Structure 1
Amino acid sequence: MRCSMLELQDVGRRFGDRWAVTGATLRVPDGQFVGVIGRSGAGKSTLLRMINRLVDPSAGRILHNGREVSALRGAELRRWRQTCAMIFQQFNLIGRLDVLTNVLMGRLNHVPLHRSLLRLWPSQDRALAFSALEQFDIGAIAAQRADSLSGGQQQRVAIARALVQEPRILLADEPVASLDPRNTRTVMDAIHGINRRYGITVMVNLHSLDLAHAYCDRLIGMAAGRVVFDDVPAALTDDVARTLYGLEAGEVLDAPQARAPGPGLGHAIPATV
């Protein structure tokens, strides 16, 4: 039986005369936790945005289980973005709305437009959204405005919103870049728990090599828009890190060692985070 697979075939993206990504070729089996590493401007965000089709490739093909994702349009493209959920460093929540409604936005492709506009969410969708919040120990804040939450809470709400899309792939673009160490650990545990509990493929852009070593099954290293490293974390030597990060290598190599991931979605997370 053939393994389900996300494939990039010589994918590139050009902005004007500059190639942000060029010649990216990858095969990612279902269920892997993949870290994408490299210095700022290496092409990490553009790579993930092409997979989600927020940015169209200028060259190459993206496929999932043999279906060409890079050719999808209209309703088929919307369905792909439901299958391939994305979370961002900026959280992208609607601050004036309550937490539960923000999570329910992940169900937009599952309900008629008029029901979502009037917030007439089916009871099963409301139950699903609340269950997702409970899994991240933030069910108690379901009625609070999103803009009243801490950064760690907001990112967990964004992850819950992605989870209720019922995706097969989760893309995370620097999801902990704006968080303190405690919230970084909490959010990374949440993403790791989704991967382990549901078998959802995860690709996450990370700046910290300690986090990459602690959480990822595989690392993709990018430099100047190209994939220059693709291996298990143990194969990432200091010399390879210096090749990837250049003058920034000291910053990523000298950070305190991250702890191993927690037990997943069911572990206790303080409600005040």
Structure 2
Amino acid sequence: MLMVDGLTCRFGTKTAVDNASFSIAPGAFVGVIGRSGAGKSTLLRLINRLAEPSDGRIVFQGQDVTALSGRELRQWRARSAMIFQQFNLIDRLDVLTNVLMGRLAEVPSWRSLVQLWPERDKALAMSALDQFDMASYAAQRADQLSGGQQQRVAIARALVQQPDIVLADEPIASLDPRNTKIVMDALLRINKHFGITVLCNLHSLDLARSYCDRLIGMSAGRIVFDGAPSELTEQIARDLYDLEANEVLGGEHVMPPPVSVPGLVGTVAA
């Protein structure tokens, strides 16, 4: 269980996240929605401890995440894997090495520096790439991939961290509709097949309603909605998105909901 209690983050006079409180059960797929600047990205960065809270606590399985430092903090960041909008791959490195970067918390730093990765970790990385039909690109440089392919590599990197939670920060913001569906299906796959909790920032209500079990709506740093997608009425959505409501509610291509999660080959379990 992940518990967020009174979480607040201030940057000078600006309050990016304001007294956020919620809990998430293991294995949930939760969408965080709201207009640009609502505090969605800061919330995920706080949970991963890439940003420091001004007040409040984050507790996971009884452990106070906000009190962690040193090696324990690095381990937490591995357990709460981040997926970023801009992929955060190292362009000059090949795909396999980029995925292996997800093992840094478990491998001595000298091994990563001289590229002497344990064979078990290489097998783990190849298995993760295979989950998302990217194994054939293992030797290719990351900057030679399309945006959708790069995001699938980033998801494979997160998976080899063997996380309890995946925090996806606008993972499809720069992708076309086809690659959007591929990436969202990949996130759904790790949620349903591996039972990994997914907390995903999404601007699109269509996607949020199609993929998520629960929605958390943010406005001006505060949580103003928390419930099932079916409970999010048009009026609540308009209040949530304010000036962006017409764009979000009326201008988007409606994607069909995901069907079933396809069978997977191999495993990346420990």
TM interval, short-chain normalised: over 0.9
Counterpart of 1:261 (choices 252, 258, 266) is 258
Tell whether the 8 Å contact from 1:135 to 1:266 is kept in structure 2 after alignment: no
Partner AA of 1:8 in structure 2: V
CA contact (8 A) 1:37 1:221 kept: yes
Identity of aligned residues (%): 65
**By how many angstroms is 1:262 displaced?**
4.2
RMSD: 1.1
Q: 1:156 maps to which residue?
A: 152
Q: What amino acid does structure 1 have at the position aligned with 2:26?
A: D
Structure 1 counterpart of 2:36: 40
Which residue of the partner structure matches residue 220 of structure 1?
216
**CA offset digits 1:146-181 (Å, max 9, x no partner):** 000000000000000000000000000000000000
2:157 alignment partner AA: R
Give the aligned residue type for 1:67.
Answer: Q
1:29 pairs with 2:39: no
The superposition leaves residues 6-60 of structure 1 with CA deviations (integer Å, 9 ceiling, x where unpaired) of 0011100000011111110011011000000000010000000000000010001
Pick the aligned partner of 1:191 from 184, 187, 191.
187
**C-alpha distance in 2, partners of 1:170/1:237?**
27
Identify which of 43, 48, 57 aligns with 1:61.
Answer: 57
**Within the alignment, does 1:78 sit opposite 2:74 as a pair?**
yes
AA aligned to 2:104 is L
Which SS does the other structure have where 2:163 is aligned?
Answer: coil
- The aligned runs of 1:240-251 (5 Å cut-off) are 240-251=236-247
Is the aligned partner of 1:179 residue 2:192? no
Letter in 2 for 1:125: D
Cross-structure match for 2:107:
111
Change (3 A) 1:109 1:182: same
Shift of 1:264: 3.0
Name the aligned partner's letter for residue 117 of structure 2.
Answer: W
SS in structure 2 at match of 1:170: strand
- Counterpart-to-counterpart distance in 1, 2:76 and 2:188: 22
**1:168 equivalent in structure 2:** 164
Deviation at 1:144? Answer: 0.3
1:271 maps to what in 2? none
Q: 3-state SS of the aligned residue for 2:72?
A: helix
1:67-104 deviation per Cα after TM superposition (whole angstroms, max 9, x unaligned): 10011001000000010000000000000000000000
TM-score after normalising by structure 1: 0.95
- What amino acid is aligned across from residue 152 of structure 1 in structure 2? G
Looking at structure 1, the residues matched to 77 and 8 of structure 2 have their Cα atoms a distance apart, in angstroms, of 20
Unaligned segments of structure 1, at least 5 residues: 269-273
For 1:193, the aligned partner's letter is: R
SS in 2 for 1:160: helix
> What secondary structure does 1:153 align onto?
helix
